[in-house]
Amino acid sequence: MSAYGRGIALGALLLCAARPAWSEPARYEIDPEHLTIAFLVEHIGYAKTLGAFREASGVFTFDDATGVLAEVRVVVATASVDTAHEARDRHLTSGDFLDSAAHPEMIFTATGAERAGERTFTIRGELALLGMRKPLTLEATWNKSAPYPIGPRTEVIGVSARGRLARSEFGMSYGVDNGLVGDDVEIIIELEARRMSD
């Protein structure tokens, strides 16, 4: 091999060696202590009510090198809804809204994502809610991937995502016709996820 060829081969070897160990598709588990799944819904047109779900879990596959996302599954406990108002939360878990007794979970799944920019993605998935499955699109930003600076040096990825849905499409029509509760639901997601052990 010529000196030039040896130089190319050595350079390629060094580049491969310099890549982080996690630069390959890996499975991630959402950290429940650093997860926010929230929503905004209009209340009689005066203002929007902010609520959140306090219990959720999820996993996905992501390749830091290529930005390929796959096998997304997020499970949310519907009875964990919290709007900082006890009576309203009881109503939200009733048959008028989430019907948590009959449908204790809602599940978001997606098989992949379209890359919209260097760190932005369009995730076209499906939401299972109240016994129905409907398309749900999330616009996501990949904020950061790096070894976590606190505790074990596990790789952690940070993501922000936004979406919206019409709750009446799932048969949740209470308060829509008379304007008491908005139909349009804004979705706000902030999460950190840890790389799972191989």
pTM: 0.86
pLDDT of 152 reads: 80
Residue 2 pLDDT? 52
Residues of the chain with pLDDT under 50: 3-22
Residue 42's pLDDT is: 98
In the chain the domains, ranked by start, together with CATH numbers, are 20-195 (2.40.128.110)
Strand partners for 74: 58, 108
Looking at the DSSP bridge assignments, the partners of residue 162 are: 139, 188
How far is 82 from 93, CA to CA, in rounded Å?
10
- C-alpha pair distances (Å), 150 with each of 87, 89, 145, 153, 176: 39, 35, 14, 7, 46
**What pLDDT sits at residue 23?**
57
pLDDT at 198: 67
Mean pLDDT across the chain: 90
Q: How far apart are CA 136 and CA 167, in angstroms?
A: 11
